[in-house]
């Protein structure tokens, strides 16, 4: 896809005033990584460090995500990473449904441009919005869902793994399965 389309979409997000988060953000957090990636990771919204640096998943939870990506031999620069919301909700609260509604079209456009084979939702909020509204992260993380042309799954949000170390083993297993599936689809 053309650089022009990417630039236009990023500018649209930077100038966006579709919800009130544009009034409190420091930076727009658009997305990062390989624009032709086969695997796209989607979180819910930028946190404090992301807001300050303008990049998704660069705080403590992002560093943990990087470790998992390195272990499964799928480094950050080989995937695309974005959030549903491009602006930070104050005090890291969950996105409001109306904020998700206001911003989701930007993510749809990103998906169209990247055109990945696999979408991995990072955490409950993204999974509920992207996979299904009644998604249960504890019971359904690591399970595969087919939606349209995409294969989707969800894993724990890295911030949940910072709070609860007991989830890390399941996370590792899910991440290895994602790598396996991506390799199969690339054959």
The footprint of ligand SF4 (CB under 6 A) covers 13, 16-19, 21-22, 85-87, 99, 102-103, 106
Strand-pair partners of 146: 151
Least Å distance, CB 32 to ligand SF4, is 16
Cα distance between residue 173 and residue 155, in whole Å? 10
Toward ligand SF4, which CB reaches closer, 51 or 174? Answer: 51
Least Å distance, CB 36 to ligand SF4, is 23
SS3 95: coil
Least Å distance, CB 156 to ligand SF4, is 23
- For 110, other C-beta atoms within 10 Å of its C-beta total 22
Distance of CA 36 to the CA centre of its chain: 15
Least Å distance, CB 183 to ligand SF4, is 34
Toward ligand SF4, which CB reaches closer, 15 or 165? Answer: 15
Toward ligand SF4, which CB reaches closer, 22 or 60? Answer: 22
Toward ligand SF4, which CB reaches closer, 128 or 181? Answer: 128
Toward ligand SF4, which CB reaches closer, 103 or 118? Answer: 103
Least Å distance, CB 108 to ligand SF4, is 12
- Return the H-helix or E-strand segment holding 41: strand 39-43
Tokens of 183: 């390799």
Cα distance between residue 123 and residue 155, in whole Å? 6
CA dihedral sign of residues 98, 87, 161, 120: positive
């Amino acid at each position: 896809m053309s650089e022009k389309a990417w630039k236009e979409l990023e500018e649209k997000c930077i100038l966006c005033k579709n919800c009130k988060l544009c009034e409190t953000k420091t930076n727009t957090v658009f997305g990062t990584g390989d624009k032709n990636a086969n695997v796209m990771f989607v979180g819910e919204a930028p946190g404090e460090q992301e807001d300050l640096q303008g990049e998704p998943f660069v705080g403590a939870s992002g560093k943990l995500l990087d470790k998992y990506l390195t272990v499964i031999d799928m480094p950050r620069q080989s995937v695309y990473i974005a959030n549903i919301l491009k602006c930070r909700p104050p005090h890291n609260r969950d996105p409001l449904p109306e904020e998700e509604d206001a911003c989701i079209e930007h993510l749809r456009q990103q998906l169209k441009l990247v055109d990945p084979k696999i979408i991995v939702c990072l955490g409950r909020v993204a999974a509920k919005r992207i996979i299904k509204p009644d998604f249960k992260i504890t019971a359904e993380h690591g399970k595969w869902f087919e939606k349209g042309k995409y294969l989707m799954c969800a894993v724990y949000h890295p911030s949940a793994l910072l709070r609860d170390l007991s989830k890390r083993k399941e996370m590792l297993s899910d991440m290895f399965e994602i790598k396996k599936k991506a390799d199969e689809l690339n054959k």
